[in-house]
Amino acid sequence: MNSFETHLQLFNSHLENYKTDVNLRSPRELYEPEHYILSLGGKRLRPLLALISCDLFGKDPSSALNSALCVELFHNFSLIHDDILDEAPLRRNKPTVHTKWNTNIAILSGDVMLVKAFEVLKNYEAKEFAQLFSIFSKTSIEVCEGQQLDMNFENENSITANDYIQMITKKTAVLLGCSLQMGAINAGASSLDQEHIYEFGKHLGIAFQLLDDTLDAYSTDEKSFGKQIGGDIIANKKTFLVLKALEVSNAEQVKKLNELMSKKKGDADKKIPSVLAIFNELGVKALCEAEADKHTKIAIDHLLKVNADRTKLKVLENFSLALLNRNI
Amino acid sequence: MNSFETHLQLFNSHLENYKTDVNLRSPRELYEPEHYILSLGGKRLRPLLALISCDLFGKDPSSALNSALCVELFHNFSLIHDDILDEAPLRRNKPTVHTKWNTNIAILSGDVMLVKAFEVLKNYEAKEFAQLFSIFSKTSIEVCEGQQLDMNFENENSITANDYIQMITKKTAVLLGCSLQMGAINAGASSLDQEHIYEFGKHLGIAFQLLDDTLDAYSTDEKSFGKQIGGDIIANKKTFLVLKALEVSNAEQVKKLNELMSKKKGDADKKIPSVLAIFNELGVKALCEAEADKHTKIAIDHLLKVNADRTKLKVLENFSLALLNRNI
């Protein structure tokens, strides 16, 4: 992971220590799922952002290790519970916790991970702890709200593209902002710098999710994308592409799209190209990419307002662009 | 509630303010269940203990209002998730959250309540907050562990009466100790006093649960007990009575008891008297009450070591004995 390889190694080593401790705890039914999900891998993007941010503001990134662990634990708690909600059988090509064990264990082990996410912050002294806690608890609540909004969207017919942006902001983007802000707090950054780095992460997260939506529909390389291409279309997900399509289409196109999207589990071979044909007629891919670009620009604008070493800022800018272009 | 009526009113008024805030939040699907479960009533024992403890150590009980709210929110979070685990249709004679809404909403609204339980502690200044957080997060994890142990017991055959005490200590008793300790922290009590008041609450909780088990089998007044009499027997719960019975019985009695307890949902009219007959032969009711007495004595011993106003200590002692005797 280019220049941040050492940050990643630093975090992975901290995570391994934590996992060793998890392995010692009982009852095992409660802690094995935690160890399992933390062993499934992933980019470790959120902890990485915490360390990068701490480093950016001139402090040894190891100062942010427990903030990094906190956001990674929270992220994994949310995966366990979200997978129950989504009835997902697989996570990173392995059985989800509720599939491997059962729903009860998945609920309870998720609960413990949520508490542990808070608890690791206790390693900081009282004042720093209180600051970290404030942004983290606020963010945790927003993520739950985002998840609820996502569930609501399934059964609501009047969702707009703007509602969708609000939802992904809470469900996905704020945790990236939070991770960066926590690293900034560990480095003793000013409130203004904390705000800029938070907004940078938040808008980067929105852009990332929007590009993820276009890749879900348009990627030609399932392996590098890591998910089933067309999965959102098959699942009738009201992504930005769909909602924008409904906004800019004529009555006939609206009818056709709603018809396609009312099919429970249609024939993917027919449904995907039919939906894509409408997307292409309406040019919604470009509209989605333009929206992502807008948020990328807002993100970079905030980043450039941060009072920190220019070289480090440039490295982070390049890192974030590489992330959006899936070169990481 | 005898001398603590004003404490209860103080808390109820604080809770009403909190519920007004909950009513203003969205998405509604996430917050209506929180408002609902907080409106189902209950003795409010945990928040009451926090206020009583703060008062005992010489500070205005209102200082402990957010500690009290914290433990009540946590308690209600655990009820929402436990009711999913137990597939319970009713809570205080009203539909449980997962029944009234659905399991997904129950998981997610429980998650938010867990975060909110932590968040209300942020109203205290950094140092007090850090102290409250430590005992509360430790306790939260223990409660989850206790719930997991309880689930494990269903499928394990080698559980002892001692294992049962360990389980109820985590699942039920530590939160009473925690509530009292948090109130003590709010009052600025010494570490030693905090420890004594915590142990008082913990052992009181163990005694309470043991007496609850005997009432479940032997109460003659379902209305005042508030639950179905014989419910544990019907559900084949491995309570202290059962585990003690298995310990002190001969081979024939063990066989008969295991036989009765292997019936999925037996004829309650026949099963309850048959199980009770074995309990009576073995005198396990007295053994269970003796165990409860032992913990009550330990609790009172700790209480009397607390460095506080003797009159107030006496009032709390009487209150706890009345609680055990179900006069509250």
Per-residue confidence (pLDDT) for residue B234, from 0 to 100:
87
Across the interface, whether the CB atoms of A84 and B104 are under 8 A apart is answered: yes
Interface test with B, best of A107, A128, A163, A169 (most B CBs within 10 A): A107
H helix runs in A86-125, sequence order: 97-100, 103-119
Higher pLDDT, A77 or A327: A77
Per-residue confidence (pLDDT) for residue B1, from 0 to 100:
39
Write out chain B residues lying below 8 Å of A133, CB-based: 118, 122, 129, 133
Inform me whether the C-beta atom of residue A88 falls under 8 Å from chain B C-beta atoms: no
- Structural domain tally of chain A? 1
Inform me whether the C-beta atom of residue A129 falls under 8 Å from chain B C-beta atoms: yes
Inform me whether the C-beta atom of residue A122 falls under 8 Å from chain B C-beta atoms: yes
Per-residue confidence (pLDDT) for residue B265, from 0 to 100:
60
Inform me whether the C-beta atom of residue A304 falls under 8 Å from chain B C-beta atoms: no
Q: Which domain holds residue A252?
A: 2-324
Per-residue confidence (pLDDT) for residue B266, from 0 to 100:
57
pLDDT for A273-326, tens place per residue?
999 999 999 999 999 999 999 999 999 999 999 999 999 999 999 999 999 998
- What is the mean predicted confidence (pLDDT) over A25-53? 97
Across the interface, whether the CB atoms of B137 and A129 are under 8 A apart is answered: no
pLDDT above 60: residue B269: yes
Inform me whether the C-beta atom of residue B80 falls under 8 Å from chain A C-beta atoms: no
> pLDDT band for position A265 (50/70/90)?
low
- What is the mean predicted confidence (pLDDT) over B217-240? 84
A-B contacts at Cβ under 8 angstroms: 115
- Whole-angstrom distance, CA of residue A82 vs CA of residue B64: 35
The residue of chain A with its CA nearest to that of B148 is A30
pLDDT for A176-208, tens place per residue?
999 999 999 999 999 999 999 999 999 999 999
Across the interface, whether the CB atoms of A30 and B84 are under 8 A apart is answered: no
Looking up residue B77, the CATH number of its domain turns out to be 1.10.600.10
Write out chain B residues lying below 8 Å of A114, CB-based: 111, 114-115
> pLDDT band for position B224 (50/70/90)?
confident
Across the interface, whether the CB atoms of A27 and B145 are under 8 A apart is answered: yes
pLDDT for A71-117, tens place per residue?
999 999 999 999 999 999 999 989 999 999 999 999 999 999 999 99
Across the interface, whether the CB atoms of A115 and B145 are under 8 A apart is answered: no
Inform me whether the C-beta atom of residue A108 falls under 8 Å from chain B C-beta atoms: yes
pLDDT for B37-90, tens place per residue?
999 999 999 999 999 999 999 999 999 999 999 999 999 999 999 999 999 999
Inform me whether the C-beta atom of residue A115 falls under 8 Å from chain B C-beta atoms: yes
Q: Please state, rounded to an integer, the average pLDDT across all residues of chain A.
A: 94
Question: Model ipTM?
Answer: 0.95
Per-residue confidence (pLDDT) for residue A221, from 0 to 100:
79
Per-residue confidence (pLDDT) for residue A327, from 0 to 100:
79
> pLDDT band for position B32 (50/70/90)?
very high
Per-residue confidence (pLDDT) for residue B155, from 0 to 100:
86
Across the interface, whether the CB atoms of B122 and A134 are under 8 A apart is answered: yes
Token pair in block for residue B24 = 């203003």
pLDDT for B234-263, tens place per residue?
888 999 999 999 999 999 999 999 999 887
Q: Is the pTM of this model over 0.90?
A: yes
Annotate A111-122 with b (16+ C-beta within 10 A) or e (fewer). Answer: bbbbbbbbbbbb
Neighbours of B150 (CB within 10 A): 21
Q: Which of A29, A81, A108 is nearest residue B111 as measured by Cβ atoms? A: A81
Inform me whether the C-beta atom of residue B114 falls under 8 Å from chain A C-beta atoms: yes
Q: In chain A, what percentage of residues exceed pLDDT 90?
A: 86
Across the interface, whether the CB atoms of A30 and B145 are under 8 A apart is answered: yes
Per-residue confidence (pLDDT) for residue A266, from 0 to 100:
57
pLDDT above 90: residue A51: yes
Q: Which of A27, A112, A137 is nearest residue B118 as measured by Cβ atoms? A: A137
Q: Which of A85, A115, A151 is nearest residue B140 as measured by Cβ atoms? A: A115
Neighbours of A325 (CB within 10 A): 9
pLDDT above 60: residue B126: yes
Q: Assign 3-class secondary structure to chain B.
A: CHHHHHHHHHHHHHHHHHHHHHHHCCCHHHHHHHHHHHCCCCCCHHHHHHHHHHHHCCCCHHHHHHHHHHHHHHHHHHHHHHHHHCCCCEECCEECHHHHCCHHHHHHHHHHHHHHHHHHHHHCCHHHHHHHHHHHHHHHHHHHHHHHHHHHHHHCCCCCHHHHHHHHHHHHHHHHHHHHHHHHHHCCCCHHHHHHHHHHHHHHHHHHHHHHHHHHHHCCCHHHHCCCCCHHHHCCCCCHHHHHHHHHCCHHHHHHHHHHHHCCCCCHHHHHHHHHHHHHHHCHHHHHHHHHHHHHHHHHHHHHHCCCCHHHHHHHHHHHHHHHCCCC
Q: Which of A29, A118, A152 is nearest residue B137 as measured by Cβ atoms? A: A118
pLDDT above 90: residue B220: no
pLDDT above 80: residue A227: no
pLDDT above 80: residue B328: no
Inform me whether the C-beta atom of residue A126 falls under 8 Å from chain B C-beta atoms: yes
pLDDT above 80: residue A1: no
